[in-house]
A and B are shown apart, each in its own frame.
Chain A
Amino acid sequence: MRMPVAAPEIRIGASQDQRCHPAKGKDMLKIDLPKERPSDWREAMLKKMAEVLDKNRSVRLFLDICVKCGACTDKCQFFLGTGDPKNMPVARADLLRKVYKRHFTRGGKILGRANEAEELDERVLQDWYTYFYQCSECRRCSVFCPYGIDTAEITMAAREIMAAAGIATKYVTEVVAKVYDAGNNLGIWPAAWKDNCAFLEEDLKDTEGLDIKFPVDACGAEVLLVPPSADNFVNTNTMIGYAKMFHAAGISWTTSTYCNEGGNFGLFLNYANLKKVNNRILEAARQLKVKKIYWGE
C-alpha cells in the first residue's frame, strides 16, 4: 500500500541559511561567465531576464497562468524535508514571478507589493540564490500541476539570469570547468583514464581469467560509450559490465578521453554550457568516426 507523506506545517525561513558555496572566479572565467558580481548586477540580471522571457515561451506562460491552487505545495521533496514555504514549487516560482511582475508587467508596476510585485534587490537576490539552488529540477511538481507548470523551467531560467551576473555555485561551476579541462566531471586526466582501463583489463584477467579489452580513443569503432566518469574510478564493476556486454555481443566499442562523462552539469547552470558540454559527445563521435553513441547516466 502506498503511504502518502503528510505535508509538514510551514516553518518560515527553515532552510534560508542552507546556501551553496559561491563559485570561484577562476572557474567562472573558464566557463565563459563573469568572474564576479559586477556593480551593475541588477541591470545585467534584468537584461538577461528580458532575454530569457523572449526566448522561452514556457517561462513567461508559466509565470502568467499559475492560479496558485496549491496542488504542488506538498509535492516537492525539498519542502517535505524542510517545511520552508519558499521550497513549495509555486512559492519558488513566486520568487521569479514577483520580479517579473514588477519589471515586466503593467499591472505589477501599478499595484506593486499589493499584488506581490517586488523590486529586484539584494534581499530578493539572496532568496533566489538560496532557493533556486534548493531545487533539483526533478519536475515532480509538473506531474501534479493542472497546466503542467514545470518548476525546472523556472529554476533554470533563474539560474541562467543569475549566471549572467556572475552568480553561481562552486560545485556546479567547478565541475563544468573540469569537463572543459579533463573531459569529465571527476577531473580524470586522459592518461589516468587509459591507465584505469589497462588496470581493469589486467584485473579481469587475474580474477576471472577473461581476456577482454577496454578500448580508449579507438578510431573507427562501431560504438562510442559515454559512461558516467565514476564508472572508471569508483563503480568499476559497472565499467567491467559494459566491457563484458560488448564482448559477448561482438560489438566493437571505445571510450574517448575527450568526452568520458555522461552527466551534464550545464543543466544546472545555463543553456550555453549545457549545450557546450553535450557538444563534446558529438565532437568525440565525429573525430572517432563511430556509428553509434551509447550514452549512460
Chain B
Amino acid sequence: MITKFLFFYLPYLSLGIFCLGILYRFWRWAKSPVPLRVVVPPAPRSRLGIVRRLVGDALLFPNLFRGDKLLWAGGFLLHAFLWLVILRHLRYFLYPVPGWVAAIQTPGLYAGYLIPLPLAFLLARRLVIDRVLYISILGDYFALVLLLAITVSGVLLKVFSRTYIVDVKALVLGLVHFQPLLADAHWLFSLHFLLVMALLIYFPFGKLMHSGGFILSPTRNQRANFAQRFVNPWDFPVSYNPLNLSSPEKYAQTLMASRQGEVE
C-alpha cells in the first residue's frame, strides 16, 4: 500500500503541485502591473534584442560574470551540469529513446558524477565568506542540501547499486502510461526517487523559482524605447494642496500681470 502511494500516487501529486505551483507564482507576479520604465542600460531597443538578452541571461549569467568570476564559475557549472543530467534522464521516460538523448549519454553521465562539486563549492562559499554567511537563511541551505542529497544518491546509485535498468524503466513508463508497475527497488533508488519528489514539491515555493521568474524582471525584459510613451496603468491626476504657495492658477495670474505690464 505504502509502496503504491510512494511510487505511484506521490509522483502525480508532486508533479501536480510542481506545475500548479509554478502557474500560481507566475499568475501572482503577472497580476501586479509594471508602472514605470526601469530598464537597466545598455538595453536593446527591439523585441528580438530582449529575447536575446533573456536567453543570454538564462544560459551564460553575464551579470554574474561581471561581478564575481568564481561564483560565476560555480553557478555556471552547476546549471550546465543540471541541464545535462536532466536531459540524460529523459532516457528513462521515453520509449524508444530518441537519438539525441542517446548521444548525450556520456557527457550526461560525467556531468552527473561532477555535479556535487559545484554544489559543495556553493555550500562552502556560504559558510566561509562572512558576507554570504550573514545573508544565508534556512531556505538557501535547504535547497543546496536537497540537491546535494539527490545528486550524491544518484552517483552512488550509478556506482554501487547498479539498479536493474529494465525495472526502473518499467516503473517510470508505468507512470507515463498510468499503470502501476512496481518492482522491488534498491533502497538507494527509492531514496533518490523520493528526494526528487520532495524537490518537485518544494520547487514552486522557494528560491528555486528564480529559474522562471527572471523572465518577468522589468530591469531585464523592458526595451530602451524611450521615444515611446510608457503608460502607468494606475496613474492618478496631480492634486494641489492649499498650503502650497505656488499653484498653476497663481502662475497663470503672474504671467497675465507681466503681459499687461508689457503692454502698458
**A interface residues, Cβ below 8 angstroms from B:** 7, 9-10, 29-32, 53-62, 64-75, 85, 88, 90-91, 94, 107, 111, 114-116, 139, 142-150, 153, 177, 180-183, 190, 217, 219, 257-258, 271-272, 275-276, 279, 283-284, 287-288
Residues of the A chain whose Cβ atoms lie less than 8 Å from the Cβ of B30: 57
User: Could you jot down 25 A-B contacts, CB within 8 Å?
Assistant: A30-B244, A57-B34, A58-B217, A58-B218, A64-B209, A65-B210, A65-B214, A69-B75, A72-B67, A91-B134, A91-B135, A107-B205, A111-B138, A146-B63, A148-B40, A148-B57, A148-B63, A148-B214, A180-B245, A181-B246, A217-B258, A275-B235, A276-B238, A283-B248, A284-B251
Q: Are B254 and A149 in contact (CB under 8 A)?
A: no
Q: Are A181 and B63 in contact (CB under 8 A)?
A: no
Nearest-CB residue, chain B, relative to A8: B131
Q: Are B248 and A287 in contact (CB under 8 A)?
A: yes
How far does the Cβ of B43 sit from chain A's closest Cβ, in whole Å?
10
**A57, B248: Cα distance in complex, Å:** 34
Chain B 75-92 residues near chain A, CB threshold 8 A: 75
Q: Are A71 and B216 in contact (CB under 8 A)?
A: no
Give the residue of B134, B140, B258 whose beta carbon is less than 8 angstroms from that of A67. Answer: B140
* CB of B25 within 8 Å of the partner chain: yes
Residues of the B chain whose Cβ atoms lie less than 8 Å from the Cβ of A68: 132, 135-137, 140, 207
Residues of the B chain whose Cβ atoms lie less than 8 Å from the Cβ of A276: 238-239
Nearest-CB residue, chain A, relative to B31: A54
Of the candidates B25, B136, B137, B258, the one having the most CB atoms from chain A within 10 angstroms of its own CB is B137
Beyond A10-B134, A54-B32, list 12 extra A-B contacts (CB 8 Å).
Answer: A30-B241, A58-B217, A64-B213, A70-B131, A71-B64, A139-B40, A143-B40, A144-B68, A145-B67, A147-B220, A153-B38, A180-B245
* CB of B129 within 8 Å of the partner chain: yes
**A180, B219: Cα distance in complex, Å:** 32
Residues of the A chain whose Cβ atoms lie less than 8 Å from the Cβ of B178: none
Knowing A30-B241, A56-B32, the reply to whether A144 touches B64 (Cβ < 8 A) is yes
Residues of the A chain whose Cβ atoms lie less than 8 Å from the Cβ of B248: 258, 283, 287
Chain B 220-258 residues near chain A, CB threshold 8 A: 220, 234-236, 238-239, 241, 243-246, 248, 251-252, 254-255, 258
Q: Are B25 and A55 in contact (CB under 8 A)?
A: no
How far does the Cβ of B131 sit from chain A's closest Cβ, in whole Å?
4
**A31, B245: Cα distance in complex, Å:** 12
Q: Are A142 and B245 in contact (CB under 8 A)?
A: no
B interface residues, how many (CB within 8 angstroms)? 61
Of the candidates A59, A139, A144, A147, the one having the most CB atoms from chain B within 10 angstroms of its own CB is A147
Knowing A64-B213, A144-B67, the reply to whether A57 touches B33 (Cβ < 8 A) is yes
**A143, B65: Cα distance in complex, Å:** 11
Q: Are B71 and A71 in contact (CB under 8 A)?
A: yes
Knowing A60-B29, A72-B67, the reply to whether A148 touches B220 (Cβ < 8 A) is yes
Residues of the B chain whose Cβ atoms lie less than 8 Å from the Cβ of A57: 29-30, 32-34, 216, 218
**A271, B130: Cα distance in complex, Å:** 36
**A148, B219: Cα distance in complex, Å:** 6
Nearest-CB residue, chain A, relative to B206: A107
Which 5 residue pairs are nearest across A and B when measured between Cβ atoms?
Answer: A144-B67, A148-B219, A180-B244, A65-B213, A70-B132
How far does the Cβ of B74 sit from chain A's closest Cβ, in whole Å?
9
Q: Mark B41-68, 1 if CB is under 8 A from A, else 0.
A: 0000000000000000100010110111
How far does the Cβ of B17 sit from chain A's closest Cβ, in whole Å?
14
Knowing A67-B207, A69-B75, A288-B255, the reply to whether A55 touches B134 (Cβ < 8 A) is no
How far does the Cβ of A191 sit from chain B's closest Cβ, in whole Å?
11
Chain B 14-31 residues near chain A, CB threshold 8 A: 25, 28-31
Q: Are B130 and A219 in contact (CB under 8 A)?
A: no
Give the residue of B67, B131, B137, B255 whose beta carbon is less than 8 angstroms from that of A116. Answer: B137
Give the residue of B28, B129, B238, B254 whose beta carbon is less than 8 angstroms from that of A70. Answer: B129
Q: Are B66 and A143 in contact (CB under 8 A)?
A: yes
**A66, B139: Cα distance in complex, Å:** 11
Q: Are B134 and A144 in contact (CB under 8 A)?
A: no
* CB of B107 within 8 Å of the partner chain: no
**A222, B239: Cα distance in complex, Å:** 28
How far does the Cβ of B224 sit from chain A's closest Cβ, in whole Å?
13
Residues of the A chain whose Cβ atoms lie less than 8 Å from the Cβ of B255: 217, 219, 287-288
Q: Are B259 and A219 in contact (CB under 8 A)?
A: yes
How far does the Cβ of A77 sit from chain B's closest Cβ, in whole Å?
15
How far does the Cβ of B79 sit from chain A's closest Cβ, in whole Å?
10
**A58, B31: Cα distance in complex, Å:** 11
Q: Are A61 and B29 in contact (CB under 8 A)?
A: yes
Nearest-CB residue, chain A, relative to B241: A32
Q: Are B241 and A180 in contact (CB under 8 A)?
A: yes
**A236, B237: Cα distance in complex, Å:** 35
Q: Are B138 and A114 in contact (CB under 8 A)?
A: yes
Q: Are B63 and A143 in contact (CB under 8 A)?
A: yes
**A56, B209: Cα distance in complex, Å:** 19
Q: Are A182 and B234 in contact (CB under 8 A)?
A: no
**A144, B57: Cα distance in complex, Å:** 12
